[in-house]
Each structure stands twice: as structure tokens, then as C-alpha cells.
Amino acid sequence: MAIDLSGKVAIVTGAGGGLGREHALALAAHGARVVVNDLGGGVDGTGGSLSAAAKVVEEIKAKGGEAIANSASVTDFDAITDMVDHATGLWGGVDILVANAGILRDKSFAKMEIDDFRAVFEVHVMGSVNCAKAVWQGMRERNYGRIIFTTSSSGLYGNFGQANYGAAKMALVGLMNTLAIEGEKYNIRVNCLAPSAATRMLEGLLPADQLAALAPDLVSPAVIAMASDAAPTKTTICAGAGSFEAAHITLTQGLAPDDSNSPAENILANLAELTGTDRQQIPTRGWDQIAHELAKAGFKTAEGA
């Protein structure tokens, strides 16, 4: 059955080009009204212009869709709140948030300035927090919401020269985990997208044929799925080159409490057992780790808060 987003209102940040543009076009093609947000700056976050967002709006309108442009910085909570208020006044509320805006300040950690670390965190982490906070209460009141944060393989698995970017992207997985729990009873489903796509951020890093295979529009179906009524929650979907996977944070069975006086030495002596993936689990919340550890210590535990 085709996914129909008619009547839904979506905000896509960083939608003036690359992945965000494709997400906005795909959402509009499925019937959503779209707020195309883009600061219009460089890949490092400097500069700004409404022209990039306005161009995407014209593309959407030319195909019969509805869209408006916005150039608020995701780092400005008041401006983001105004954007959400404007969309709510115009169309009745915001149903879907795709927090896609990001910048790069790549350097090895030894050479990275603290300001470069802070700037990346401000856009990726606080930018996503600002947007989620601005739509959260309205979604609770309407008992409906779909929020998609943009994580990265650099955060999930690490990447040289991206300590700031990787740390910021992994922070969004933590944000997703808690908001998915808090939003569950309000039908707010919160997920993460880990995209692999040929955007400005990958230019010059891969051969032309591989970049062509990583077309950004091949990622957007994951956004449509996570924006739908049947969306999962607390799920990290990886997407690239037309394929889709899920990334999990697992908990191994681990070591039972050690009666010796050398628990640290025991960890090292039995590291293979501690890290072994046999009987590993995917915790549904932080309490699962505590319950698992207490159970190994011989306690029966009740469900935690």
C-alpha cells in the first residue's frame, strides 16, 4: 500500500540541497506540505541566504505541491519556534520533523580547535534539540508526531578526523532513545537516519562511479517510511546506494560477579567472554542494563522507571 502523507505538515532542516532537498521533495511527492528550512550557508556553517530554500520550494510547487521557505538557523531557538508557529498558523500544526541540518569542521583531534568542536555540536545536537523542542508540545497535544534525527556512521562506528562530528552524531542516538520513550504514549515516534550519500560533504573523497551510486534520493525512502503512520520508533535505519540496514546498540551476556579480589584483572583475563556476542540482547531502555546486572548478581528486579 502506497504511503500517503496528505494532510501532514513536515519541516525539513538543511533542505536547500543534498539530502535535505531530496527529503523535502519526497515528502511533498507523498502529499505532505513542507517547510523547507535552510540557512543557505557553506558546509562549515558560515554565510546565509534564503535562495537555496526558495529554489526547492519552487521545485515542489512546480510539481503541484505546497511548500514555504525558511532560513532560520537551527541554533536559534526563538527563530525555530517562530518557524513552527508560522507553519502551525498556516497549516494547523507540524506532524513531521526531519532534523537534517549539519556542518563539518573536520580535523584530527590533535589539530582541532575547541571552537570547531563547539560549532559542530551547536548545529547537530542543539539544532536538533531546538527543532524537537519547538514541535514537541504541539505533537503531544495532537497525539501525533514523527521525528527523524540524522545520525551518521561516523558517530556509530567512528571516522578519522571527525571527533566533533562523530560525537555529535552519536549524541542524537541518545536523544532519540529517550524521546522515543517519552513520546510513546502520545503517538510520537522518534527515529534516526544514518545516511550514506554523495553530498557536498563527500566531494573529493570517493571515485565518480561510487559517488554516482550514492545518489541522495536513494536515501529518502527511509525518511518516508519513518514519517508514515506505520513508522517504527527508537530505530536507527542506515541507508545508502539503495540498500537499508538497522544499527543496534547491544548488551553482551558478559561476566558474572567475581568473588576474587582481582575484578579488574578478571576483566582482562576474560575479555573474550565479556565481549562475546553469544546471547547478546538489545535493551529497550537504560533500566535493562541495570536489571541484567542485578539478575547476574542473584537479584530479582521489578520494572524500573
Residues with catalytic roles: 165
Say how many C-beta atoms besides its own lie within 10 A of residue 126's C-beta.
Answer: 17
* Residue 148 burial (C-beta neighbours within 10 Å; 0-12, 13-18, 19+): buried
Sheet holding 236-240, edge to edge: 67-70, 33-37, 9-13, 96-99, 145-150, 188-196, 236-240, 243-247
Cα 160–Cα 166–Cα 170 angle in degrees, nearest 5: 150
Determine contact, residues 97/147, Cβ cutoff 8 Å: yes
Side-chain half-sphere of 166: how many Cα atoms within 13 Å?
Answer: 15
Q: How far apart are the first and last CA of the chain?
A: 38
* DSSP structure string for 156-175: HH--TTBHHHHHHHHHHHHH
Q: Which three cell numbers mark 191? A: 527515529
Cα 141–Cα 168–Cα 38 angle in degrees, nearest 5: 65
Cα 42–Cα 200–Cα 128 angle in degrees, nearest 5: 65
DSSP state of 124: I
* DSSP structure string for 18-51: HHHHHHHHHHHHTT-EEEEE-----TTS----SH
